[in-house]
Amino acid sequence: MFPALNLSTSNVSDVDCQRLQELNHRSIKVCIIIVLGVMITLGNVAVLLVISSSVAGWSRNSRYFLLSLTAADSAFGLLVMPLNLWVSLLKDYTEGPDALCHVVAFCNATVYSTCMYTLATISLERYVAVFYPLQYSALMTRRRTLLLIAFAWCFPLALLSPISFPGGIIEVHFSTASLVCNPSYSTNVAYSLSLTCLIFFPCSAVMTYANLRVWCAAKRQRLKLRRYGCALRSRHNVAARVLVPVMAAYYTCWTPCMAAMIYNAVSGSSVPEWVEFVVVWLPTSNGFLNCIFYFWINRNFRRKFHFVLQRLALALCPELADSLGWSNSSTQFVSDVLVDGVHGRSSSVSSTCTLLSLA
């Protein structure tokens, strides 16, 4: 009798330790998600404050595409993360799939897909501007620009709509490993693979081809200008500084997630707990990295952001603005932007277009 009691007590202790370990892991994961969400939200709110008005050196079409990208990235912090954290707090893990989890999974997949399509449309716009500069106005009209943006937002809604229907062809479950409502791709391998073929691979192909062509053209142009003594050796390599980090961040953030999804669909088994957590939430960090690569390395963007801070400080706390000497620098900022407008665009999305059109 006593050995049985000791065995039962040992089993209870093991269960309690396992639950305590799960709670500790869950607390760490929630903290990571919250910190990442705050970083993404603050970064993209700052971007929206700046590009909601004109920025020197950025065309109207570029601003439209970048606003679309910023909105998609902001959805990570304002929609995806709060919804999944809310479900993780409300849902009983012993329960099966429900309508709420289907809706959350649909929002997750839609935002992820929209971000990839938006990045692909930005690469396409850059490619047209570089290789067809004289036809750019005719090819990239305002109507076509808005149609491309609408496609990037609406096509994922239609393509991923089966996820939102409980009892449909895609089952959804809440993953305690990643704290996300995930579609059970293993239940429909053909649909899972078709999603990958219609979203990740086309967007990756467009981005890789367009950015690689632009990078090669910029390199040839730089060598040609240097050969004729028209380029300064100290001038930064704009293409390498913008295009290479953008593509490296894209593949680093998105490839593990797509690989894990294909692995789950084909093998029917899941990856380890922390591996799943990392690969599921890693694409959201691309929403913060986009702020750095597309905006913060742009001199005009930084100057405009500084000007916005000055205006806010003057409106909310004039004493602080006077103590920092911002009250007298606002007018000087406007004249500096007019003078340095062309040079400051060298690290923006349209920077390579300007560099190559000089020849």
Give, in order, the Cα–Cα distances in Å from 111 to each of 32, 80, 167, 346: 20, 8, 22, 30
Residue 88 has pLDDT above 60, yes or no: yes
Better-scored residue on pLDDT, 134 or 231: 134
In a domain, 351, yes or no: yes
Residue 161, pLDDT score: 87
Residue 245 has pLDDT above 90, yes or no: no
In a domain, 310, yes or no: no
Tokens coding 35: 């910190």
pLDDT-wise least confident of 29-33, 50-54, 307-311, 334-338: 334-338
Residue pLDDT, tens place only, 27-53: 898 899 999 999 999 888 888 888 777
DSSP bridge partners of 184: 171
Domain count, the chain: 1
Q: What is the DSSP code (8-state) at residue 317?
A: -
In a domain, 320, yes or no: no
Give the HSE-up count for residue 254: Cα atoms under 13 Å, Cβ half-sphere: 23
Distance CA 227, CA 236 (A): 16
* H or E element, residue 199: none
pLDDT average, residue stretch 108-130: 91
Distance CA 272, CA 326 (A): 53
Residue 152, pLDDT score: 94
In a domain, 314, yes or no: no
Q: What is the DSSP code (8-state) at residue 272?
A: P
Residue 76 belongs to domain with CATH number: 1.20.1070.10
Residue 302, pLDDT score: 77
pLDDT-wise least confident of 47-56, 296-305, 318-327: 318-327
Residue pLDDT, tens place only, 156-200: 999 888 888 887 777 888 888 888 888 876 666 766 777 778 888
Closest CA to 123 of 238, 224, 202, 40: 202
Please, which pLDDT band fits residue 331 given cuts at 50, 70 and 90?
very low
Residue 146 has pLDDT above 90, yes or no: yes
Contact 101, 87 (CB under 8 A): yes
Domain residue limits at 142: 2-304+337-357
Contact 297, 348 (CB under 8 A): no
pLDDT average, residue stretch 284-300: 81
In a domain, 38, yes or no: yes
Residue 251, pLDDT score: 93
Residue pLDDT, tens place only, 50-68: 877 766 667 788 888 988 9
Tokens coding 283: 């694409």
H helical segments located in 52-141? 60-75, 81-90, 99-131, 136-139
Distance CA 357, CA 354 (A): 5
3-class SS of residue 235: coil
Residue 332, pLDDT score: 46
Residue pLDDT, tens place only, 189-230: 766 777 778 888 999 999 999 999 988 888 887 777 777 665
Handedness of CA 39, 44, 47, 49 (dihedral sign): negative
Distance CA 294, CA 349 (A): 6
Residue 148 has pLDDT above 60, yes or no: yes
Residue the block writes with tokens 């869950």:
26
Residue 326, pLDDT score: 58
Distance CA 70, CA 308 (A): 18
Residue the block writes with tokens 């500096």:
336
In a domain, 30, yes or no: yes
Q: What is the DSSP code (8-state) at residue 229?
A: T
In a domain, 330, yes or no: no
Distance CA 90, CA 211 (A): 44
Handedness of CA 162, 166, 167, 172 (dihedral sign): positive
Average pLDDT in the chain: 77
In a domain, 325, yes or no: no
Residue 346 has pLDDT above 50, yes or no: no
Residue 115 has pLDDT above 90, yes or no: yes
Percent of the chain exceeding pLDDT 70 equals 74
Tokens coding 198: 């219609």
